[in-house]
Structures are given as C-alpha cells and as structure tokens.
Structure 1
Amino acid sequence: MAEREKLLEIKSLKQHFDVGGGNVVKAVDGISFDIYKGETLGLVGESGCGKSTTGRTIIRLYEATAGKVLFNGENVHGKKSKKALKKFNRKMQMIFQDPYASLNPRMTVADIIAEGIDIHGLAKNKKERMERVNKLLETVGLNREHANRYPHEFSGGQRQRIGIARALAVEPEFIIADEPISALDVSIQAQVVNLLKKLQREKGLTYLFIAHDLSMVKYISDRIGVMYFGKLVELAPSENLYKNPIHPYTQSLLSAIPLPDPEIERTRKRKAYDPTVHNYAKDEKLEMREIYPGHFVYCSESEYKQYQKQYS
C-alpha cells in the first residue's frame, strides 16, 4: 500500500485567550494531528470544546498562541510577504456555520462568489468572470439566473451552496467546513453533505469537517478526531471509532446518539463521562498514544498499558 501524502501537519497547536483578570481560556491546548491529501478528517465534540477555534487557527483567522501548522511542509503561521500570504489564502478556504451571517446582504450572489476571483486576478475580463460565476453556480446545484439576486432571496440550504461556491471560486486544495450543516433543516443537511462528497471526488479536495452531529460525521469522514476541553482525546478511522471507542469521553459521546428504534431508545442507557475516572496523577504524562495501528488515545502510560491489554 502506497504511503499517503500529508497535506497538513498540526504540531502542539495552542490557542489561548486572555479574558482579563489574569484568567486565560485554553480553547486549544497542545493538539497534534495530520490530514492527508484527498481525505476528510472529521472533528467532533460538544459545544465549547475548541473544535471551531482549531479550524479558525489553522486557516489564520486567529494567530496561534504556540505550535505549528504546516501546509505542504510550509509553516502557515510563519512570517509571510503579502504575495506569499495571498498565495496561501488561495490554497485554503473555509465554509462557515451560519449561511445567514456569512454572506454580505448588500452584495449580489455574483459579486459574493467572484470576490476571490477578483482578488486573485483569475478572470481576464468581465465576461470570463461571469462565466466562472455561472459555472460555479451550476457546480453547486444552483442556476445562473441566481447570479443577480441577493442572499435574502434564498433558503438556508441555497445560501450554504453559495458559500460553497465562494470557497471553490479560487480553486483551493483544502477546505475547512466549520459546522456547515448545523444551521440547516435536517432534510437539507444530507443534500449539502452529498454535494461536498461529490465535489471532493471531482476536484480532489481535502476537508476538515467540524461538527457535533456524530452520525453525519461518520457518513462523510475517513478519520475522526474527538475533542474535549481543548484536548484531542481520540483519533481513529471512522469505522473503528464507532465500533470500538476507547476513551471514556468518546464512549459517552457515542452513547448519546439517538436511535431510530423507540423500543431500544426507551431502555437504552447513556454513558455519563466523569473525567476523574482517569488516572490524572501529576507524575504521569498524558499524551496521544497508539493503542493499535491508526487508533490513538490521549492517556497516561498506565492507562495505555491497560488499554493495550483490553483492546489487543
């Protein structure tokens, strides 16, 4: 089997916020993981765990407090000239959570989508610019007649398609989808996820898919990372994580997924997570350890040995 090529390497990434009075919120607290070309890495966890902050720090909407983000071997947070930064911004794009807030209400759909085209000089003239916009609209399942309308004239699902077209306009390699379906009706969510999967196949895209809907994350992701209070606590191939969750927090999270069978749902017990069950002794170093190939868990040395006995 050929070795996969790393597109992104996140090394000991930290994002701390000073909230005044000598208090610091450790939103992201020293996490490390890789994303390979052509894959979708899902990032899940409860609200406030730091998953969206991770995405925003990777793409430089926030400057990292510490650690490195390497994109094709180049440090994203290193000093860059305007030209280098512009080149980087074209390779990495973001789809935002709220399609109502992320589109400028005063701009037409054509101008919203063409903003990146204009900045990067990707069209020679107005005709070519419009041709690109029309093609992008059709790519995301909209019509070219939509180009001259304004965001308020569209449904939530259509607005998110416009957001996807905007991200695609500069032909990126990597897209961070920050909870792109959480603000949409359930009936529309699958359509948007299927569109993202189709675009990935056609354009060879790589995704970081951030969400709290675990069933949808399983559907779209090749691997999944689970975050808890700024830490990455488990990272595994999608099927492995769902069939064999190891970290107690992951087990708790998966036990909360509602099942479509009312009989099972009535009697099923959810597993509460108590962080004190771990051996968080100060003399034990907690780190991501590989329990078996490709399946990593944030644990101490003694927990690691226990997991190896249990899951080997």
Structure 2
Amino acid sequence: MAERKKLLEIKNLKQYFNEGKLNEVKAVDTVSFDIYKGEVMGLVGESGCGKSTTGRTIIRLYDATGGEVIYDGVNVHGKKSKKQLKEFNRKMQMIFQDPYASLNPRLKIADVIAEGIDIHGLAKSKEERMEQVYELLETVGLNKEHATRYPHEFSGGQRQRIGIARALAVQPEFIIADEPISALDVSIQAQVVNLMKKLQKEKDLTYLFIAHDLSMVKYISDRIGVMYFGKMVELAPADELYRNPLHPYTQSLLSAIPAPDPISERSRRRKSYDPASHNYGGNESIEFREVTPGHFVLCSEKEFNQYKAQSNH
C-alpha cells in the first residue's frame, strides 16, 4: 500500500486566552495530530472542549499561542507575505456552524458565492463568473434561480449548502467543517453530510469535521480525535474507536449515544466520567501514547500498560 501523504501536521498546538492572567483559559493545550490527504478527520467532544478553537487556530482566524501548524510543508503561523497568505486562504476553507450568521444578508447569493472567485481572480469575465456560480449551486443541489435571492429566503439546510458552495468556489484542497450540521434539523443533517461525502470523493478533498454528535462523525470520518478540556485524549480509526474505546471519557461519550431499539435503550447504562479519577496535574508523566498501531491515548505509564494488556486480549 502506497504511503499516505501528510497534508497537515499539528504539533503541540496551544491557544490560550488571557494568557498569564488569573482568568487564563487554555482552550487548546498542547494538541498534536496529523491529517492525511484525502481523508476525513473527525474531531469530537462536548461544548467548550476546544475543538472549534482548534479549527479556527489551524486556519489562522486566531494566532496560535504556541506550537506549529504545518500545511503541505509550510508553517501556517510563520511570517507570510500578502501573496502567500492569499494562496494559503485559497487552499484552506471553512464551513461555519451557523449558516445564517456567516452569510452577508445584504448580498445576493451569486455575490456571496462569488466573493472568493473575485478575490482570487478566478473568472476572466462576468459571464464566466456567473457560469461558475451556477455550476457551484448545482453541485450542492440548488439551482440557477437561487442566485438572485437573498440569504433570508432560504431554509437552514439550503443556507448550509450555500456555505459549502462558497467554500468550494476557490477550489480548495482542505476544508474545516466547524459543527456544520448542529444548527440543522435531524432530517436535513443526513442530507448535508451525504453531500459532503459525495463532494469529498468527487473533488479529492480533505476534511477536518468538527462535531459533538459521535454517531454522525463515525458515519463520515476515517479517523476520530476526542477532545476534553483543551486536550486530545484519544485518537484512533473510526471503527476502532467505537469497537475499543480506551479512555474513560471516550467510553462515557459513546455510552450516551441513544440506541434505535427502545427495549435495549431502557436497559442501557450510561457511563459517567469523573475527571478527578484522571488528575493530570499530579507528578505522573502523562503523555499521548500509541497503544496499538494508530490508536493513541492520553495516559500515564501505568494506564498505558493496562491499555496494552487490555488490547492484547
């Protein structure tokens, strides 16, 4: 099997707010992981765990407090000329959680989608610009007539499709999808995720898919990272994480997923997670360790040996 190409390397990434003050918040605290070209990397955790901040720091919406983000061999947070920044912004795009808040209500949909086309000079004429807009609308399951309407004339699911079309307009390689379905009805969520899966295959895209719904993340992701209080506590291939969750926090998240069967749902026992049982401020050396190939857990040496033994059975 050919070796996969690393598209993104995140090394000891830190994003602290109010750094050095009494109310300092370590939103992202020494997080490291890689994303390979053509894969979907899922990032999950409860609200406030730092997953959205991780995505926003990767794409430079926030300046990193520390660590490195290496995209295609280049340090994203290093000093860059305007031309370099422009090129980076074309390669990496973001789909936001609230499709209405991220669309300018005063612009027609054609102008919303074509914003990136205009900035990067991707159309030689007005006709070519509109052709690209029409093609993008059709790509995301809308039609030409929608180009002359305003954002408030669309449903939440349609607005999210417009957000996806806008991200695709500059022909990116990598898309960060920040909770792209959490504001949508359940019936619409599957449509949007299926659209994203289809586009990923057709356009050879790489995604960082951020969400708190573990069942939906499993459906779309190749690998999944679990975050808790600014730290990555577990990272594994999607099937492996579901079959063999090692960190107690991951186990508690998985135990909370409701079953479609009402009988088993009545008898289901949810596992609770007590952070005090993992006092990571102690003297033990807590590291992100590889228990089995590709399956990493934040743990002490003693826990690591327990997980190793558990995985060998």
TM-score under structure 2 length normalisation? 0.98
Match of 2:256 in 1: 256
Match of 1:122 in 2: 122
Question: Which residue identity is paired with 2:158?
Answer: Q
Partners of 1:266 and 1:224 in 2: how far apart? 28
Question: Which residue identity is paired with 2:261?
Answer: D
Which residues in structure 2 correspond to 1:1-312 (within 5 Å)?
1-18=1-18, 22-278=22-278, 280=280, 282-312=282-312
Partners of 2:287 and 2:35 in 1: how far apart? 19
Partners of 1:21 and 1:194 in 2: how far apart? 44
Count of aligned pairs between the two proteins = 312
Q: CA deviation at 1:281?
A: 6.4
Do the aligned partners of 1:109 and 1:149 also contact (CA within 8 Å) in 2?
A: yes
Q: CA deviation at 1:21?
A: 5.6
Do the aligned partners of 1:91 and 1:174 also contact (CA within 8 Å) in 2?
A: yes
Partners of 2:27 and 2:279 in 1: how far apart? 23
Partners of 1:121 and 1:287 in 2: how far apart? 46
Partners of 1:153 and 1:278 in 2: how far apart? 49
Question: Which residue identity is paired with 1:257?
Answer: I
Partners of 1:225 and 1:285 in 2: how far apart? 21
Identity across the alignment (%):
79
Q: SS of the residue aligned with 1:260? A: coil
Do the aligned partners of 1:43 and 1:209 also contact (CA within 8 Å) in 2?
A: yes
List 4+ stretches of structure 1 deviating above 6 A: none
Deviation track 1:116-162 (CA, whole Å, cap 9, x = no partner) reads 00000000110100000000000000001100100000000000000
Partners of 1:264 and 1:289 in 2: how far apart? 34
Q: CA deviation at 1:20?
A: 9.1
More displaced stretch, 222-231 vs 19-28? 19-28
Partners of 1:71 and 1:199 in 2: how far apart? 21
Partners of 2:184 and 2:116 in 1: how far apart? 25
Q: CA deviation at 1:50?
A: 0.2
Partners of 1:281 and 1:194 in 2: how far apart? 42
Question: Which residue identity is paired with 1:109?
Answer: I
TM-score under structure 1 length normalisation? 0.98
Q: CA deviation at 1:285?
A: 1.4
Partners of 1:299 and 1:19 in 2: how far apart? 26
What stretches of structure 2 of length at least 5 have no aligned partner? none
Question: Which residue identity is paired with 1:255?
Answer: S
Do the aligned partners of 1:279 and 1:303 also contact (CA within 8 Å) in 2?
A: no
Aligned residues: CA RMSD:
1.1
More displaced stretch, 216-225 vs 279-288? 279-288
Q: CA deviation at 1:280?
A: 3.7
Question: Which residue identity is paired with 1:2?
Answer: A
Partners of 2:31 and 2:19 in 1: how far apart? 21
What stretches of structure 1 of length at least 5 have no aligned partner? none
Q: CA deviation at 1:19?
A: 7.8
